[in-house]
Amino acid sequence: MIEVVVFGICGKMGKSISKELVKEDDVKIIGGFDKENIGEDLGIVLNIGETGSKIYNSYKEIERINPDLIIDFTKADIALKTINWAIDTGINIIVGTTGISKENLVKTKKRALKSNSKVFIAPNFSVGAVIMIKISKLVAKYFDNCEIIELHHDGKIDSPSGTSVSTAEQINEEVVFNNNRLKDNEVETVGGSRGSFSNGIHIHSVRLPGLLAHQNVIFGAKGQTLSIRHDSIDRSSFYPGVIHAIRSINNLTNYTYGLDSLINI
């Protein structure tokens, strides 16, 4: 039995994942961590009936109940603090929170590799999204340029998304499309019209109510385009990746980044 504490359990993602986790025979949620509903039975918050496990807002209380694993779906600053605490405490942690800077990821990797904790960080837990990135990397060398449009719900704080940045990084390993954000003769009549720029690829972020998580990778060559699109229309799409990571964590190195590390494609 893997005993877990879900950080951000009162958020939309935390609730969605937790409601699926309680159905598993080999996983038990022994607590939640959030700024809301502190002291409440997490089962009441999840509308599944009393469980006897509570929601906390103190690292000391989490350390006292001694979980095997932390699952974090919070915000970047909170997640980073929790990762460092988990490393210091010797607790394994799975992080689905996005927006952690590349610099902090490098620091986290160095700390994790010297610790007794296993740290797994993924910008996207959807298997379909991982396949989208893999295919994009595969076909990139056959095209002249590429741009990414990523669309998310209006509650998403960070832009561009971690998935779009990861996609650009993966494509950049195969081909460098652009050395500069704008061409020599290119002018933006409105600043930012050409979007952000990462690893030689323009990324355009859309934030609207009604969306969840979507990405379109568009390749162009003479006389043709190719679009590779993935849509998560419900948060349940992320659960298979999460449970796979939970069941794989003990077999991983002390630092692992990306769900693709667990999927053999």
pLDDT tens digits for 164-182?
999 999 999 999 999 999 9
What is the share, in percent, of the chain residues with pLDDT greater than 70? Answer: 100
Q: For residues 174 and 49, what is the distance between their CA atoms, to the nearest angstrom? A: 51
Instruction: Evaluate whether 7 touches 73 at the Cβ level (below 8 Å).
Output: yes
Q: Both 95 and 131 in a single domain? A: no
Residue-number span of the structural domain to which 47 is assigned: 2-121
Which bin fits 66, alpha (ψ -120 to 50), beta or left (φ > 0)?
Answer: left
The answer to whether position 241 is within a domain reads no
What pLDDT is attached to residue 94?
A: 98
pLDDT mean across residues, the chain: 94
pTM (predicted TM-score): 0.84
Same domain, 97 and 156: no
Domain co-membership, 31 together with 137: no
- How many C-beta atoms lie closer than 10 Å to residue 22's C-beta? 16
Number of domains in the chain: 2
**pLDDT, tens digit, 9 for 90 and up, residues 179-201:** 999 988 999 999 999 999 999 99
Task: Assign 99 a pLDDT band (cuts: 50, 70, 90).
Answer: confident
Take residue 131 and report the two structure tokens written for it: 């396949």
Q: Can you give the pLDDT at residue 217? A: 98
What CATH number corresponds to the domain at position 204? 3.30.360.10
Give me 119's structure tokens.
């740290």
Catalytic residues: 152, 156
Q: Is the pLDDT of residue 118 over 90?
A: yes
Q: Report the distance separating Cα 124 and Cα 245, nearest Å.
A: 12
Instruction: Say yes or no: 117 and 7 in one domain.
Output: yes
Helix (H, G, I), strand (E, B), or coil: what is residue 193? Answer: coil
Task: Retrieve residue 6's tokens.
Answer: 């879900």
> Is residue 254 in a domain?
no
pLDDT greater than 90 at residue 78: yes
Beta strands 27-33; 2-7: pairing state: parallel
Within a 10 A sphere around the Cβ of 88, how many other Cβ atoms? Answer: 13
Residue 6 lies in a domain: yes
Q: Are 112 and 6 contained in the same domain?
A: yes
Query: CA–CA separation, 150 vs 232, rounded Å?
Result: 12
Q: CATH number, domain at 93? A: 3.40.50.720
Cβ atoms of 71 and 7 within 8 Å: the answer is yes
* Residues 216-265 pLDDT 10s: 999 999 999 999 999 999 998 999 999 999 999 999 999 999 898 888 76
Do 56 and 116 fall within a single domain? yes
User: Looking at the structure, do residues 48 and 66 belong to the same domain, yes or no?
Assistant: yes
Parallel/antiparallel/unpaired status of strands 55-56 and 69-72:
unpaired
The phi, psi pair for 202, rounded to 5°, reads -80, 135
Mean pLDDT value of segment 124-147: 95
